[in-house]
Structure formats: C-alpha cells, structure tokens
Structure 1
Amino acid sequence: MAEEIDDNDFYRENFSADSDWEVFNAQLAEILQKWEVAVDKGRPLQPEELYQCKWQVKTETLDLLRNSIAIDHYEARLTGKLGEALDSSAEKTHCHHDLMCSLNSFGPPIRNGSELHTLARIYGLRRFVVLHPVNAANYMKSTSEFNFFLSSAAVVAAEVSSVVPIFVQLYDPKWNFYTGVSLAPTLRTNFRLIGLEQAPEDCQYLMGLLTLFHDKVPAAYTQAARVSVRTTYALNTVRIRMPLYVPFDHGLSSEDIVVDGDVERLDVQSFYALPHGYTPESRTECYLAYTWPELSEHVAFDSAQRTEFVPSKAPLGQIYLSVEASSYLSCCLRDYLTVANINRSLESYVGRNFSGTSSGAEQTNPFDKITEHKLTTSKRDRNYEAPTKANITSRLPGPMTVSELKELLAYLFPEMYPEMALYPYAKQATKDKFDPMRIKSAAPDSIVSRLSCLLATCHAHLGNLEGMAQLWAAFTRQLRFLWDNSLTVPGIT
C-alpha cells in the first residue's frame, strides 16, 4: 500500500493570483476610461491661449504599496467656435499638434507654478494625465518605483487607446521632474528628462543647442531647423508704498506704513482714521519680452562671442505687468473675523483695575458709583480745562505709550485736550433725516464712528489685540470721568 503524504508541509505559489502591478493597471485603466482619454476632439490653439483659458482638474486616488498615488487629469477649457479641425492626415493626435505648434511656446512670465502647470508651460499641452504620490514627502526615488509606474503608464495607454499623454512625477516635487509617454496610431513620443547640476557651457547659447539637436537626428536629414527665441528682462520691482495717515498722529515712523516725504493732510469729514493704502508686500513686477519667431538656423547666430538677438532688432516686443496689491483696509476687515473668536477678557490684557475707580481689594459694590446721585441743577459749561487728576492713561499696560494714547483720546474727546485736538466735532444745525438703510450704522463724525476707526487702526498698526484693549480701557476711563463730573459726552447727535 502506498504511503500517504501530508500536503500541508509543502509551500504552494499561486501563480494565477493578480500581482500588485496588474491590480494597479486595472484600476488605472478604469479611471482613464471614465475620463474618455481615447476621445480626441478640438481645434487649433490660438496664440497664448493656454495661458489665458481656464483649466479643469480631475483627481482620483489609488492605494498601492502602503502609499497613495494620485492621478490628476488636466484639461484646458477652450472657448469660442470650433473652427477648422486639426489635420489628421499623418495620424497625429492633439498632443503632437500642440508639441509642434509654436503659438504657445512662450507665455507671460508667471511668478509661481500654481497658475499653470509646468507641463503645459514646457510642452504647450492642452490635456495630460499626471501620476504622483499624494504625500509629497514620499516621492519616488528608486529605480524599481520608476519602472513600476512607467511600465504601467505605457501598458495602460496602449490598452485603452489613450491619445492623452501620461506623465509620472519623479524625485522631489520641487524639481518638476516628469517623464511619460504619448501614443498615436502611427507615432509614439517618449518624454524624458536628464537632470544636470550645472548646464554645459555649450548649451547656454543657441549654437550649442543646435549642435546637440543635429546629433540626435539622422545624418541623411539635411533640412534646416527652424527656431524661435525669446529673451526676457526683469525690471526692478516697483513697490506700491502709500503712507498710513490718521488724523490724531502725523509722526508715525514705522517703515511698514510710512514712506519718506511729506504726507498731505486730509479732511476728517471726507476720510477717517481707517487704515488705507497698500501693505508693504504689495508690488508691481515688470517684464520686457523680445521674441524672434520661426527663424531658420542659418540666419540665427548666438554664441559667447557674438549674438544677433539684441532688443533693438527684435520683430516683436511685449511688456508684462504683474500687480499684487493688498490694501490695509481689506486685511483689517479680514483679521476682524478672528477677533470675534477671542475668549480672553479685558482684565487679561490691561489688569483688573482697568476702570481706575478702585484698587480691586475693596469690597464695595461697583454699581454704587453708577447709581450714586451727583447731578446738579445746572450743567457745567463745556469749555472746561483738561483734567489733571484723573490718571486716565496711566498704569495701562499695552504697546502704546502715554503720549500716543493721549493723542487717540484727543481725537475722541477734542474738548478735553484742547492743546492737542486737531479735529473738533462738527456742529450740526439740523437733525439728519432718518435713513432706513443705515439702521446699524453710526452717525457720520460721531464718537462711535471715531472709536470704530481707532479700534481698526490699533488692530492693524498699534499693537493688534493688546492695542485695542489698551484703547478701550482708556476710553472707558474717560467715560467714567465724564460721568463722575456730570459732563456731556461729545460726538453724540
């Protein structure tokens, strides 16, 4: 009788199971088919159209080898009539037409890469797919990873008959290193890059690039090459520097808000103490671009010794302006959205005794000072002298000095500080008519409107939250002084 053999002691390799590479290919093919990458319809591109049109980006994520891979589909949304169709006699796709078209080779100088993808700028493509890790820190840096995704891109592109080029991002994302493939019925284009620490001296000029180009083409090809050249000159950056002007102070010397020179005074009736002008980061960049389109290599000469590409001989010259301006007021209003979420109390900024009425150790009821009867039959004349014993601005921690704080109070209470006041309240002969559209708005040139302007200015330029708290504590002290002395609060209509 034959001896029985236990099969549990043997290792069996299941070659019929799908590998990770095959699973990834199947998932990638499903995504590309959903995006209809086999459809190739469109019209010829207009000059610099890729830099002006809107782009549609679709993203899918696949989990593979303990890493997440993002598949991005970029497509330019071309507007206008279709016009004449592209010539398909050579069995070319839109990708190959865009590669050979020089109308979108040069675009306006762009400061950052967020406005237009690098592949669209380099190759002039209207549509492409990019594979890259979701986490930028886990970028591809080994040969096995390169071969895995590049082989997948080539196999899947042929399987789904993709007319859209597929790229794989390698190495650190800041290098913008992409390699990929593009297929057509009779053509195949491989996009390959070589990274060099320093450009060879011959490749820094056109003659060296033409020599390198002729080394890549067959010797039997005798037709002259056609080149397009653009030289770009960056002019000095012009910074938009408008001074901050506030009616209560004309001596602020902060580099961020004041420029050298005289500052013209403004009428308080037409402009209040709100922050205005532009932030110091605002600037205007100017670029001069000179272009020589579609030149034969026999008439184009550029080397280290002599060059034909001088601005005075350029057939086409353009100037580009890039303006980035952020106003003080818009930044102030945006920052106010975060002020509403502050949970700290006023005591945490300026101390417990911010009212200046007691030391905090007394056990008296603070409401007694409010309800205590001190009113007399006749009101005092408003032409009073400045107080000397109120200590309204003393012992208030904050970023502003006592003199600066008094200038703010002189703007709010001009009659209390006649030697410092520059803008008294305007006397209104008749009462303003009721405006239902301004139910929640303060009256023009009132103490409420001036206080709002000063709080905005303090938040923007005089200490942020600490400066606002310091001003509010001084304002409440001043109101307490007016109450205790039976004086009228100015600026109230």
Structure 2
Amino acid sequence: MAEEIDDNEFYRENFSADSDWEVFNAQLGELLQKWEVAVDVGVPLQPEELFRCKWHVKSETLNMLRNVIAVDYYEAQLPQGQQQAAEALVSNCLQRTNCHHDLMCSGNSFGPPIRNSSELHTLARIYGLRRFIVLHPVNAASNYMKSTSEFNFFLSAAAVVAAEVSSVVPIFVQIYDPKWNFYTGVALAPALRTNFRLIGLEQAPPECRYLMGLLTLFHDKLPASYAQDARVSVRNTYSLDAVRIRVPLYVPFAHGPSSEDIAIDGDVERLDVQQFYALPHGYAPESCTESYLVYTWPELSETVAFDSEMRTDFVPSKAPLGKIYLSVEASSYLSCCLRDYQAVGKVTRTLDSYVGRNFSGTRSGAEHTNPLDKLTEHKLTTRRQQQQNYELPSQSGLTKRLPGPMTASELAELLAYLFPDMHPELALFPYDKHSLKDKFDPMRIKSAVADSLVCRLSSLLSTCHAHLGGVEGMAQLWAVFTRQLRLLWDNSLSVPG
C-alpha cells in the first residue's frame, strides 16, 4: 500500500490573486478618473501666462511596496474669460492635445527669473505645461527611488493606466534625490505618444555650452533628408549686484557728524530726514532683494545668428527685447520689533530686580519707603514759572548708580529727547507748543497726542527693547524717567509735552 502524502507540506502559489502592480494600477486608475484627466479643452496660452496665473494642486497618497506614494495633480487656473471660451472648444485631433500644443508654444519658454522652485514647479518651467501629474514617495528626501526596478514599476503603471483612462494629462515619476529635479514621464494622445526623458551629466560637454554645439546635436537626431532650418529662441540672464544701503538707526537722540548720513557701497551720502521718530524701521535683516536683467532673441533662424566659444552675436546691445526683474523678499523690521515688544507684558520679574531697590531716587534703599507717599504730602512749595533753561543742581545724579546695558551718557541723551527743556545742552528736538494745544478729539481718547511726552516715551521703550538691551534697557529708561518726574514734582515744575 502506497504511503500517504500530506499535501500541507507543499507550497501552492495562487496565480489568480492580484499582484502589487495590478493593485497599484487599479488605485491609480480610480484616482485619475476622479480628476477627469480625459477631458481636453482649452485655449492657447498667452505669453508668460503660466508664470502669472495661480496653480491648483490636488494630492492623494497610495500605499505601494515599501513606499507611500504621493500623487500630485497640478493645474493652472486660467482667467475666467479664457475658461469660458475653453468650454466651447473640444479638441478632436488624433495627434495633438493641449499638452503637445503647450510643448511647442514658444510664448512660455522663458519666464521671469525666480529664486527657488517653490514659486513654480520645475516641470512647468521646463516644458511649459498647464496640467501634469507627478508620482513621488511621500518622504522623498530620505526614501527616494534609486533602483531601476522601481523606475520601471511606476513608469509602466503610469503608461498603462494613462492608456486605460484615455488620459491627455502627462504623468511623471520623480526619481533619484529630489534636489536633482529628475523626472521621467509619458504623455498620450489618441494617435501619438511622447516620452519625457532626462540624462544626468556630472559636467556639461564643451560643445553643448554654445548654440552651435546644441544645433549640431539636434541635427544628429533628424533624418539626413530633412533640410529645413531650425528655429531657435535665446535668452541671456544677468544677475545684477545688489546695492547694499546701510542706514544707521535713526532715533532722535542719535546726533553727531554722521547721524544723517547713509553709506551706499562705501560712498557716504547725505540723507534728508524731515521728521524723526524713535522707532525701529526698515527691512528685517533676513530680507533680500535680487535684480535680474534678461535679453531675449525670439524665433530666430539658425542661419541668422552665430554663437560659439570664439564669437557670439548674442550681445545685450543687439537684443530686440530686454527686461529687468526685481525679486524682493522683505519683511517690516518694525513689525518684528513690535511683536517682540508685546511679549514684554508676560515678564514676571520686578523692576527692583533689574535696576536695584533705590531706582526711585530716595535717600536710602534700606528705608523701605514708598515713593508714592510723597505725592500725598500737603506741604507743597509755590509753583515756579516755567523758563527756557533750568538750573537744578541735582540733574547730574539722574543717570548714576543704575545697573544696566546703557551708559550714563546714553541715558542722558534719552532724557534730552523726553525732556528737552531740562537738558538744553543735549536737546535737538524741542516740543512744538502749538501742536499740544489742538482741539480735543474724542475719537483718539486711547491714543497719545503726536509728539507728546507719552508718544516719545512709548517710542523710546520699544527702541530700547529692540536695540538697547532688551528688558534690562527698558527698566533702565523707566527708572531714569521716574527720577526725572520726581525732580519735576519736588520743584513744582510742569511736565513738558
């Protein structure tokens, strides 16, 4: 009798189960049908329209193999009038779709120089496409595709699915390190297929650095019987040196021979400032401005111009078109300082911890007297007549014995701005007596009068926080300010401003 064989010891592969490739194709096909990539309507793009219009991006993720694949759909949002005209046009051409019209259109070959690829996708700049789909790993920076099997897996899936759903939108697969911007893809029409392929070279061949070498390489790809001249478009881009203007911090207490001078690339020029405010101003230090000058030769025959290592006809003086582009990334320095200034309200330390217990100007810090007690004393002297100059012997001790980042001379300049009549030897900006007598405005009940004492003090506090020691500098200024007010009160003098 034959020995019984246990069938459980044998491996049986189920060839009827769906493979990973088929599962991915099914998921990608459902996604493309939802995005309606088979509809091909549109009108010819205007020159440089791709660089001016807004872009709408749809993104989905698909789980495949060891990666999580992201599928991004980029679509240019054309103006409303062109979209309405596009709805009435349906392309019935078997060989040309909007994708192929955009590839052959020279109006969007050159765009304005940009600093990085975040403003416009690289594929839109290279090929001038208004719609395209990109497949890439979610964590492409650390988990990018680098094997030929992965390339073929996703690229074959894109080609098969595009044919099944009749997609007229090109599909690209991002491979290698994302910083290389390396894409390979395919675009289909009812009777035409276009493959997008890139070749990576460590260094450009010498013959490809000039137009003559590129034309030679182009003619090698054409049949020998094709004798028609090629048409080329050339653009030269020049990056202009940025003009660095170094403007000092203009605050009312900054005086001296160079307080109103600016330096432009080392050359000092006079700056006319009508009115000073003690507030930080200008652009933030990380702001950047770049200038580009471009010259374009559009739609030239290859026999018209010559460009090689020895001689070139593409010089700026002979260019038919020239433009200048300015790229500005600037943020208000004042806004940044005021945001930091608002955070001072959360500081929990006391003023004594910054400048000491005797900041109010009393005789001894050990007396533990309340500085506000003197406000309630009934023995007040006769009010003095306010004069142009004050001769008070205790003026010299206002800025002494106050720990902090600012020196006594710097504090004296701040006091001269707040109390110009009390410090005539340093005062540069006296109060305008007429501006402080304007009619009361009930709509500004919470605002300080322009160029008043409260306005100047608020400006100086924000300046001290931004440039003169932060919270410690503010505490120093406040201590000096209260000492000055105490001096005015003790001598029955009116508070200016």
Asked if these proteins are the same fold (TM beyond 0.5), I'd say yes
Moved more, 203-212 or 381-390: 381-390
Q: Does residue 246 of the first structure (1) align with residue 251 of the second (2)?
A: yes
Q: Which residue of 2 aligns with 1:77?
A: 77
Q: Is the contact made by 1:231 and 1:290 (CA closer than 8 Å) also made in structure 2?
A: yes
Give matches, 1:123-142, under 5 Å: 123-135=127-139, 136-142=141-147
Determine the C-alpha separation between the residues in 2 that align with 1:428 and 1:398: 37
Equivalent position to 2:190, from 185, 205, 208:
185
Letter in 1 for 2:461: L
Equivalent position to 2:458, from 444, 449, 452:
452
Give matches, 1:25-424, under 5 Å: 25-79=25-79, 80-81=81-82, 82=85, 85=89, 88-135=92-139, 136-251=141-256, 260-267=268-275, 271-279=276-284, 284-336=289-341, 339=343, 342-347=346-351, 350-353=354-357, 355-356=359-360, 362=366, 364=368, 366=370, 369=373, 373=377, 375-383=379-387, 384-386=390-392, 388=394, 391-424=397-430
Identical residues among aligned pairs (%): 71
In the TM superposition, what is the alpha-carbon distance from 1:458 to its structure 2 partner?
A: 2.6
Report SS of the residue matched to 1:145: helix
Determine the C-alpha separation between the residues in 1 that align with 2:487 and 2:165: 83
Determine the C-alpha separation between the residues in 2 that align with 1:88 and 1:340: 67
Q: Does residue 427 of the first structure (1) align with residue 433 of the second (2)?
A: yes
Number of aligned pairs?
A: 487
Letter in 2 for 1:57: V
Q: Is the contact made by 1:61 and 1:68 (CA closer than 8 Å) also made in structure 2?
A: yes
In the TM superposition, what is the alpha-carbon distance from 1:249 to its structure 2 partner?
A: 1.2
Change (3 A) 1:263 1:228: closer
Q: Does residue 443 of the first structure (1) align with residue 449 of the second (2)?
A: yes
Q: Is the contact made by 1:354 and 1:473 (CA closer than 8 Å) also made in structure 2?
A: no
Determine the C-alpha separation between the residues in 1 that align with 2:460 and 2:257: 15
Determine the C-alpha separation between the residues in 2 that align with 1:311 and 1:291: 9
Moved more, 16-25 or 288-297: 16-25
* Superposed CA offset, 1:337-365 (max 9, x none): 5x257445355972553735579984736
Q: Is the contact made by 1:241 and 1:278 (CA closer than 8 Å) also made in structure 2?
A: no
Determine the C-alpha separation between the residues in 1 that align with 2:263 and 2:470: 18
Q: Is the contact made by 1:279 and 1:326 (CA closer than 8 Å) also made in structure 2?
A: yes
* Superposed CA offset, 1:169-216 (max 9, x none): 222222211111111111111111111111100000111111111222
Report SS of the residue matched to 1:427: coil
In the TM superposition, what is the alpha-carbon distance from 1:428 to its structure 2 partner?
A: 4.0
Q: State the TM-score, normalizing by the size of structure 1.
A: 0.86
In the TM superposition, what is the alpha-carbon distance from 1:151 to its structure 2 partner?
A: 2.4
Q: Is the contact made by 2:262 and 2:271 (CA closer than 8 Å) also made in structure 1?
A: no
Structure 2 gap segments, 5+ residues each? none
Q: Is the contact made by 2:357 and 2:365 (CA closer than 8 Å) also made in structure 1?
A: no
Determine the C-alpha separation between the residues in 1 that align with 2:441 and 2:324: 49
Moved more, 168-177 or 48-57: 168-177
Q: Is the contact made by 1:459 and 1:468 (CA closer than 8 Å) also made in structure 2?
A: yes
Determine the C-alpha separation between the residues in 2 that align with 1:385 and 1:232: 67
Report SS of the residue matched to 1:138: coil
Q: State the TM-score, normalizing by the size of structure 2.
A: 0.85
Letter in 1 for 2:279: L
Q: Is the contact made by 1:241 and 1:280 (CA closer than 8 Å) also made in structure 2?
A: no
In the TM superposition, what is the alpha-carbon distance from 1:46 to its structure 2 partner?
A: 0.9
Change (3 A) 1:305 1:429: closer
Change (3 A) 1:12 1:412: farther
Letter in 2 for 1:416: M
Letter in 2 for 1:379: R
Q: Is the contact made by 1:278 and 1:328 (CA closer than 8 Å) also made in structure 2?
A: yes
Q: Is the contact made by 1:374 and 1:486 (CA closer than 8 Å) also made in structure 2?
A: no
Change (3 A) 1:480 1:62: farther
In the TM superposition, what is the alpha-carbon distance from 1:27 to its structure 2 partner?
A: 2.5
Determine the C-alpha separation between the residues in 1 that align with 2:211 and 2:239: 21
* Superposed CA offset, 1:2-25 (max 9, x none): 766555544444444444433333
Determine the C-alpha separation between the residues in 2 that align with 1:180 and 1:346: 66
Structure 1 gap segments, 5+ residues each? none
Determine the C-alpha separation between the residues in 1 that align with 2:483 and 2:219: 84
Change (3 A) 1:434 1:120: same
Moved more, 298-307 or 4-13: 4-13
Moved more, 173-182 or 194-203: 173-182
Change (3 A) 1:194 1:463: farther
